[in-house]
Amino acid sequence: MSPTFLRRTVSPSVAGSPRVGILALQGDVREHEHVLQGLGADTVRVRRPEELNAVDALVIPGGESTVIDKLSRAFGLREPIRSAMRDGMPMLGTCAGLIMLADTVTDAVGGQETFGGLDVTVQRNAFGRQTESFEVELDVPVLGAPPVRAAFIRGPVITDVGPGATILAALADGRVVAVEQGVLFGLSFHPEITGETRFHERLLAAAMR
């Protein structure tokens, strides 16, 4: 028998700002909460399908993609997230969250799966070890000035962009590090730890449409 998933029947944010879920299985949940709450959004830590059902948008934070994959299955969230995506829920994935939104991962470990949704291929840990983390200013034309201060911490790189996705930003050497596809946004880096709020604002705007 196929599983039955909860469906949103009414927006929980009818009285004000969107309610944004943050997938709270592993990763830098608190940092995303701080950014979103500073923008006036209600936030919910999502660990169960019923919590996903109560939000207008979802952030998939950085962390370890293999752990997020395993825990999303253990908590019964993988298929509900895919279903919510098909229903048009806006989602923002940063670092490991980008991996989880990618359709293809070239160096996935055995049995690793993603939620999919972004027509891209990614390579995990493309920027080396955590000790090789760095920050750089990125030009992101859709955001205008000033440049984005982006922190890269063992992040993935986008090695192929299909026709369904749009490139938002690339490094000086041409490596793609930010894409969007409809109401899905994927970033190789961590805007939530550098004071950058415009990607979260873009997510909130998508949730208000």
- Please name the residues in contact with 174: beta carbons below 8 A apart, sequence gap of 6 or more: none
User: Catalytic one among 33, 192, 196, 200?
Assistant: 192
Taking alpha carbons only, the member of 88, 192, 85, 199 closest to residue 142 is 199
User: Catalytic one among 32, 33, 95, 200?
Assistant: 95
Query: Does the active-site annotation cover 190?
Result: yes
User: Catalytic one among 180, 190, 196, 200?
Assistant: 190
97 φ, ψ to 5°?
-65, -35
Query: Does the active-site annotation cover 50?
Result: no
Q: Is the distance from CB of 25 to CB of 45 less than 8 angstroms?
A: no
Query: Does the active-site annotation cover 137?
Result: no
Task: Give the CA distances from residue 195 to residues 11, 136, 152, 155, 200, in Å, rounded to whole numbers and listed in that order.
Answer: 29, 13, 14, 18, 11
DSSP string across 29-69: HHHHHHHHHHTT-EEEEE-SHHHHTT-SEEEE-SS-HHHHH
Q: Residues with catalytic annotation?
A: 95, 190, 192
